[in-house]
Chain A
Amino acid sequence: MWRQCCPTCSLFPIAPQHKIGDACLMENTSLSPKPFHFAAAFGAGSLLTLMILCNGTLAAYGSLFFASWVPHLAGSVVALILLLILRPRRAAKARPPIWAYLGGVSGGVTVMLTSATMNTALALSGTIALGLAGQVLFSLFADMRGLFGLPQRMPTQRDYVSLAFIIAGSLVLIFFGGEA
C-alpha cells in the first residue's frame, strides 16, 4: 500500500543500499539520518573548514577573484578526471532541466557577496552568522515545498529543537570562541 506514497522512489536507483521503503518513510515525515548519512554530512562540514582555510590563504596572497577562480578551475579538472575514472551510472534516462546545471552560478554570486560584506562592520563573524541564518531559512522552506523537484519533507519538532541547539552553539563559537 505504501508504495503508492512515493512516486519519486524510482529516482533513487543510484544507491543500492537505499531501499524503496526507506524513501517512502522519508517522504512520510521524519526519517532520522542513518549513521552513514550522519557521518557523511559531518565529514562534509569538516571538508568545508579545510576548503575555507585553503581558499582564504589564496585570498591572502592574491585577489578574491583569484581565490574563487582557481578552486573552480582545479575542481573542474579533478571532477572531470574522477568522472572518467569512476564512470558513475546516470540515475535517470530523462535529461535534467537546463536550470539544474546552474547551481555553480549561485555559488559564484555567494563568493562575491561574502567578500563584499566581510569588509564592512559585519566582518567575517557577522558574515558567517547571517549566512547560517539564510542557509537554515532556505533549507527549511525548500524542505516544506520540495523546491526544485527534490522530495518534500515537513520539518518535525525535533528538527527545530536540534536546529536551535546547533545554531546557538555556532553563534557562541563565532562570536566568543576565537578571534576570527
Chain B
Amino acid sequence: MIIYAALAVIAGLLVGLSRQINGRLALSTSAMESSFWNHFVGFAFITCVALIIGGLFAGEPQASPWWAYLGGPIGVIFIAAGSWLIPRIGAAQTAMLIIAGQMISGVVLDIAMGAPGSPWARTFGVALILLGMWASRSKRPKPITKHTHSDN
C-alpha cells in the first residue's frame, strides 16, 4: 500500500518535472513547439511500451462517443499554456493556479452533469480555493528605484 502511495506521489512529481522540462524547451523555441514535442515524444514512448506489453486496442474503443477524441487537441493548448506560464510566474504559482482552475471547473462540471455530491463540501472547498487565490495576489513589489533614491 505504501508503495502505491509512493507511486501516486511520484506521478505528481513527474507532472511537475514534465512541465519544467517543457518550459525550458519553450524558452529556446516557443510554447507551441514545446507542446508539439511533448505530444510527439510522448506518442513515440507510449507506442513503444504498448508494443512491448500489448493490448493497445483491447475493449471497444470504436464505441466511444466522438467528443472523447477531443482530449488531444485540448491537451495541446493545456501544455502550451503551462510552458508559456512557468518561466513567467514560476513553477509553484503555475501549479497552484492550474490546480485551482481544475478543482473549481470540476465542481461546475459535476453540477452541470448532475453528479451526486455534498453541496456544503463543494461550497466549502471552492471557498477555500478562492481564498487561496485571493491570498496569492500579493501587493505590487516595491519599486526598486525607491531604494536607490534613499541610498543616494
CA A163 – CA B33 in complex, angstroms? 30
Contacts of A33 in B (CB 8 A): 89, 93, 97, 136-137
Contacts of B35 in A (CB 8 A): 75, 79
Given contacts A32-B137, A132-B99, contact A178 B10 (CB under 8 A): no
Contacts of B24 in A (CB 8 A): 96-97, 100, 148-150
- In A164-180, the 8 Å CB interface with B consists of 164-173, 176-179
CA A159 – CA B19 in complex, angstroms? 19
CA A65 – CA B72 in complex, angstroms? 14
Given contacts A32-B137, A177-B107, contact A150 B27 (CB under 8 A): yes
- In A91-141, the 8 Å CB interface with B consists of 91-92, 94-97, 99-114, 116-117, 120-122, 126-127, 130-140
Encoded as 1 (CB less than 8 Å from any A CB) or 0, chain B from 104 to 119 comes to: 1111011000011110
Nearest CB on B from A124, distance (A): 10
The reply to whether B95 and A139 form a contact with Cβ atoms under 8 Å apart is yes
CA A126 – CA B93 in complex, angstroms? 23
The reply to whether A28 and B9 form a contact with Cβ atoms under 8 Å apart is no
CA A137 – CA B33 in complex, angstroms? 27
* Total A-B pairs, Cβ < 8 A: 486
The reply to whether A76 and B36 form a contact with Cβ atoms under 8 Å apart is yes
Contacts of A76 in B (CB 8 A): 36, 39-40, 43, 72
Which of A65, A79, A103, A169 has a CB less than 8 Å from the CB of B76?
Answer: A79
Nearest CB on B from A43, distance (A): 6
CA A61 – CA B61 in complex, angstroms? 5
Nearest CB on A from B28, distance (A): 4
Contacts of B53 in A (CB 8 A): 65
Nearest CB on B from A172, distance (A): 4
Interface size on A, residues (CB 8 A): 129
Which of A37, A63, A106 has a CB less than 8 Å from the CB of B88?
Answer: A37
The reply to whether B43 and A32 form a contact with Cβ atoms under 8 Å apart is no
State the B residues within 8 Å of A (CB): 1, 4-5, 7-47, 49-50, 53, 55-65, 67-82, 84-107, 109-110, 115-118, 121-122, 124-141, 144, 148
State the A residues within 8 Å of B (CB): 1-2, 11-12, 14-15, 18, 24-26, 28-33, 37-38, 40-51, 53-55, 57-58, 60-63, 65-66, 68-80, 82-83, 86, 88-92, 94-97, 99-114, 116-117, 120-122, 126-127, 130-140, 142-143, 147-151, 153, 155-156, 158-159, 161-173, 176-179
Can you report 5 residue pairs joining A to B where beta carbons are below 8 Å apart?
A45-B105, A47-B78, A48-B101, A70-B61, A74-B69
5 interchain residue pairs of minimum CB distance: A45-B101, A134-B12, A74-B72, A165-B132, A169-B128
A122-B4, A135-B13 provided; 17 other pairs, C-beta below 8 A? A11-B87, A14-B31, A33-B89, A42-B97, A51-B78, A55-B71, A91-B28, A134-B14, A136-B12, A138-B16, A139-B91, A142-B20, A142-B91, A173-B103, A178-B116, A179-B116, A179-B117
